[in-house]
Amino acid sequence: MGSKLEIVQDVINAFEVNKESMLRTAMLFKETMEKSLNGEKTCLKMLPSYIGKPTGKEQGTFMTIDMGGTNFRCTKYKINNGNFEKVGEIKQKLINKEKNYDLTKSDSDEKQLFGFMAECIGELLEPEESLYLGNTFSFPCRQEGINDAYLIQWTKEITTSGVVGQNINKLLEQSLKEKNINVKPVAILNDTVGTLLVAMYSYQTADIGSIMGTGHNTCYLENNHPLNGQKMIVNIESGNYNVGLPVTKYDEIIDKNSQIPGAQLLEKMVSGYYMGSLLKEVCKDLYKNNALFTNEDVDIDAFFNQNFNALMVENFILYPSNTKEQYKCSIEDAEIVKRVSEAILKRTVRLVAVSHMGILFHQENSGTSVNNEHVIAIDGTIYEKMPNAPQLMKEAFREALGDDASNIEIRLVKDGSGLGAAIAAAFAVTQ
């Protein structure tokens, strides 16, 4: 066993993704996408959305809902001539400890979950009003039409009973009917698809939409979809990607302790939900090997017995002196925690960039060159809030693709899951 610093360095090296590894994995990602498009069963579900490019002429007032994880949001939008106006919103948590409910776990069922959603919708609806609704439902769904999506499997550690296998908007419609709420679901979409739809309104060449938040996933515009020979947005469900990834022993622990071991491997390596736990595993290992928290005063319990989340990773990077104060550790220790946090974040960004490169290679179909202009729209707190994330992403593209990287613009696009649902609903009723 090496010195303290060598041990730390080894761990940091395990999180590195170099140029060769980026390009190799991106090619594998592309191949996997293409196999799946040709009907082969792979880890990439490549789910059709039944939505193409919006025309820009969508209009009207629409109700939208958005269940992305444990948060639920119901928003009303007015769309007119490419302008969007939010006319009302209710935000709720699906978990409420005081009121003693948790709609995200298996002792709650579909009736409770969709009943809760219907109630929120009812609260936002004016008397005498009747509206169409777009539903952003950010989980893998087998989609058979713009309004028909069946939940394949919960992700992001949600386990509510009675929903898997069901037609989601039918469940919602039933709950709305039971409560006499005059709202009709007409579209259901993934949050990545919503993000891309919103981006398409602003950027001519937007053709990839991605979420880097609690979960991770990407969609893209397929120019010639096998189902209809036309343009269609495809929800890749890239969080489930698992070919050729640089999996560490820490990732294996996270996977083993998760609700569905073996599933959502890329997501477990890159998304906000798991990022804190990953850091905790690394710190535990360093501590065990006497490479971290070696002085006696350190408040080991305070450090390890808390719930690690992505916000903590951000704080460890930004404020090592707070880490020192809070856990009574040395500044060297705080710096090690910072370096490990940075390494985890950098890997996150690089692996996401790798999947985007795989999509670009598929769209361009010319090896590892990217000759046309693309806008990649990203939403989610990891990209938006984590120190330097956009910069790290740019560097990854530049390192892997050289000058071709200048053909790729990455944009933070907010509220795809709200506004995108309104656009999808408008698209559905004006088709």
Tell the smallest beta-carbon distance from residue 300 to ligand GLC (Å). Answer: 33
Report the chain's C-alpha Rg in angstroms.
22
Which residue matches tokens 């990891």? 382
Establish if 211 lies at the interface with ligand GLC (CB under 6 A): yes
- Per CB under 6 A, the list member of 64, 192, 258, 315 interacting with ligand GLC is 192
Q: Kindly indicate which of the ranges 101-109, 161-169, 184-192, 401-409 contains the residues binding ligand GLC, using the contact rule CB under 6 A.
A: 184-192
Establish if 255 lies at the interface with ligand GLC (CB under 6 A): no
- Per CB under 6 A, the list member of 52, 54, 140, 418 interacting with ligand GLC is 140
Q: Which residue is nearest to ligand GLC (CB)?
A: 215
Are the CB atoms for 31 and 86 separated by under 8 Å? no
Q: Kindly indicate which of the ranges 118-126, 127-135, 213-221, 248-256 contains the residues binding ligand GLC, using the contact rule CB under 6 A.
A: 213-221
Tell the smallest beta-carbon distance from residue 78 to ligand GLC (Å). Answer: 26
Q: Which secondary structure element, helix H or strand E, spans residue 206, and what is its range?
A: strand 206-212
Establish if 217 lies at the interface with ligand GLC (CB under 6 A): yes
Alpha-carbon distance of 279 to 276, in angstroms, equals 5
Tell the smallest beta-carbon distance from residue 164 to ligand GLC (Å). Answer: 13
- Per CB under 6 A, the list member of 110, 222, 251, 267 interacting with ligand GLC is 267
Are the CB atoms for 425 and 134 separated by under 8 Å? yes
Q: Kindly indicate which of the ranges 185-193, 221-229, 329-337, 422-430 contains the residues binding ligand GLC, using the contact rule CB under 6 A.
A: 185-193
Tell the smallest beta-carbon distance from residue 430 to ligand GLC (Å). Answer: 25
Tell the smallest beta-carbon distance from residue 356 to ligand GLC (Å). Answer: 15
Nearer to ligand GLC, 267 or 281 (CB): 267
Residue 414, classed as helix, strand or coil, is: coil
Alpha-carbon distance of 95 to 9, in angstroms, equals 40
Alpha-carbon distance of 121 to 151, in angstroms, equals 21
Alpha-carbon distance of 232 to 228, in angstroms, equals 8
Token readout for 251 is 């990732």
- The closest of 215, 209, 201, 194 to 381, measured between CA atoms, is 215
- Residues with Cβ within 8 Å of 84's Cβ and at least 6 positions away in sequence, in order, are 77, 78, 419, 422
Residues found near ligand GLC in the complex (CB under 6 A): 68, 138-140, 155-156, 190-192, 211, 213, 215-217, 237, 239, 267
